[in-house]
Structure 1
């Protein structure tokens, strides 16, 4: 029997119109953000998008998140991730994900967005996400030029999510423009940009279709050559558990590995740091598992999967084909935890939310 969705009414979407979409080609308006004040700097053409993708980008651009406690949290509790979207040759949106290298202290080896902890009190969530993306996958930071014709537009921030290690994570959504105004052509990020990035803290960079994170099954989920056709449950599996003292839907997506959508940093033979050597070992082991057939899909799950589902719900204005929680983010429980004295400035090794702590916070009105 299906469990009811939980509605905390944590977000609202500002009504917007799409009168300019698809009347004379692709959407043409955009907003850029500077490294200092995130202000508008002009309008240029976007890369060709499908009608559905153009509307999705417009919804994300228009979205205004609810009030968040993120900015008032101690620095030690703040983190941000980058949801980087781009258009594939068919005009469909895809997103960039990583396999974290074993060099990372938390969640090593897991699929994740580029991102990490804030550095300073006055660093915005977008600045954190972009700085970490520069460090992890080599995407140039705010204010630094990308390889032409690529440009990054900041679209919106989503309600913050709560990690089990008591970090508050702010998702930041951005769009990678790849339309060349001079030639009228669109570059393919999977062949023209991603392989050129200097990924330093991940074992692999891979991509997946954004809209698929609302689907229970997908037809185009072909892995490496010779793989069998997808069967039931090959793309998505989900289950209910208890978290935040309420019913919680766990999402598990299995991304087929294909040569085009996967980029791995090249191991370096010259003298390098111990950290880099460990990363090289992680890359080599990952390749060996893929070649042997032991690993044919990357698993996206946990908070990363939930953020993807919520971001896709917002972008496409539709609900998933599978059961899910209806609220966006964890702003309510974050506020309650602060009221009982959690999420303080001092982070101790091994800090993790217990059921007793969550039960105490959940009782607050």
Structure 2
């Protein structure tokens, strides 16, 4: 009999049972309704890379319907006193803990602790769970986005002030556009709403980092950028079923799955966590073997748009 610890599936979650027709949503634009329906039916591709629970984390992408039927996402401004990423614009989330049954519960627990969002899946039902992202510097965490819909409009935020300075929202569809969804303030006229820069990733290709203004920069709020921007672009692309009006990826950008597989080969923290949990990191797929496979998060969109341009 094997003495290795039994691994539970952190990506298991209850099937969403939300029926939009019966949900307490007073106004919902057709585009917003289609977005929610698409997210409800989304299932991430089966992951081919095993990674340790102790290096797993989750973020909550909490959507809600605005006054005129558009979808917005809740974002927080991290406290300026935090040791890491102080003052950054972020999504609620954190590391998996042994008391969490799965990563959905991790994301919900962290959102409750940070901003007081109820864990009750009747008030905040699940829409879908996305494929994992690599995060941290260097990539020491594998982070899974959990997408939910806030139905209860009576919920009042309760901020954990040592961690969260403020809470605000941003239109989800605006993550697909290079032009701002808000009137630009005079002092912000010279700044572009969307910008990006490409960084070398371990000598294996360039990774594109995106940045979106929030319209609150004059008050000290930082733009949406990096990991948070990447997650929200992915959610918006899936939900609205179209590519952004800018190039999301560089031509040689490795997918998230490739990057996770490579980190398991070279990152000592991940490798040690794997061995502790009975996972052989040397049995992870070669990153190059994942490059030609069907992608859900990488340059597939770049290639798809390139093909369209030839038609």
TM-score > 0.5, shorter chain as reference:
yes
Change over 3 Å in CA distance of 1:249–1:296 after alignment to 2? same
Equivalent pair of 1:250/1:302 in contact (CA under 8 Å):
yes
1:168 is paired with a residue of what secondary structure?
Answer: strand
Change over 3 Å in CA distance of 1:105–1:329 after alignment to 2? farther
Q: Distance in 1 between matches of 2:238 and 2:190?
A: 26
Is structure 2 residue 14 aligned with structure 1 residue 38?
yes
Question: Which of 141, 149, 170 is the equivalent residue of 1:208?
Answer: 170
Alignment-derived partner of residue 264 in structure 2: 338
Alignment of 1:124-139 (within 5 A): 124-139=102-117
Q: Distance in 1 between matches of 2:165 and 2:106?
A: 21
Change over 3 Å in CA distance of 1:207–1:69 after alignment to 2? farther
RMSD: 3.0
Equivalent pair of 1:217/1:232 in contact (CA under 8 Å):
no
Alignment-derived partner of residue 296 in structure 2: none
Change over 3 Å in CA distance of 1:68–1:51 after alignment to 2? same
Q: Distance in 1 between matches of 2:17 and 2:65?
A: 22
Q: TM-score, length-normalised on structure 1?
A: 0.63
Equivalent pair of 1:69/1:335 in contact (CA under 8 Å):
no
Alignment of 1:1-365 (within 5 A): 38-39=14-15, 43=19, 44-47=22-25, 48-68=27-47, 72-120=50-98, 123-142=101-120, 151-165=123-137, 166-178=140-152, 187=153, 192-194=154-156, 196-200=157-161, 201-222=163-184, 227-228=185-186, 231=189, 233-243=191-201, 245-257=204-216, 295=219, 297-325=221-249, 330-340=256-266, 342=268, 343-346=270-273
Q: Distance in 2 between matches of 1:328 and 1:62?
A: 26
Q: Which moved more, 1:110-119 or 1:121-130?
A: 121-130
Stretches of structure 2 that go unaligned for 5 or more consecutive residues are 1-11, 275-285, 291-311
Stretches of structure 1 that go unaligned for 5 or more consecutive residues are 1-35, 146-150, 179-186, 258-289, 348-360
Change over 3 Å in CA distance of 1:317–1:37 after alignment to 2? closer
Equivalent pair of 1:158/1:329 in contact (CA under 8 Å):
no
Change over 3 Å in CA distance of 1:175–1:41 after alignment to 2? closer
Cα deviation code 1:274-310 (max 9, x no counterpart):
xxxxxxxxxxxxxxxx8xx5x4553111111111111
Q: Distance in 2 between matches of 1:101 and 1:297?
A: 11
Count of equivalent residues: 258
Return the offset for 1:233.
Answer: 4.3
Return the offset for 1:328.
Answer: 9.8
Q: Distance in 2 between matches of 1:246 and 1:119?
A: 33
Computing the radius of gyration from Cα coordinates, the structure with the larger value is 1
Return the offset for 1:206.
Answer: 1.1
Change over 3 Å in CA distance of 1:160–1:221 after alignment to 2? farther
Return the offset for 1:338.
Answer: 2.1
Cα deviation code 1:30-72 (max 9, x no counterpart):
xxxxxx96256675324121000000001111111012368x4
2:32 is paired with a residue of what secondary structure?
Answer: helix
Cα deviation code 1:6-50 (max 9, x no counterpart):
xxxxxxxxxxxxxxxxxxxxxxxxxxxxxx962566753241210
Q: Distance in 2 between matches of 1:37 and 1:167?
A: 20
Q: Distance in 1 between matches of 2:18 and 2:58?
A: 26
Equivalent pair of 1:221/1:230 in contact (CA under 8 Å):
no
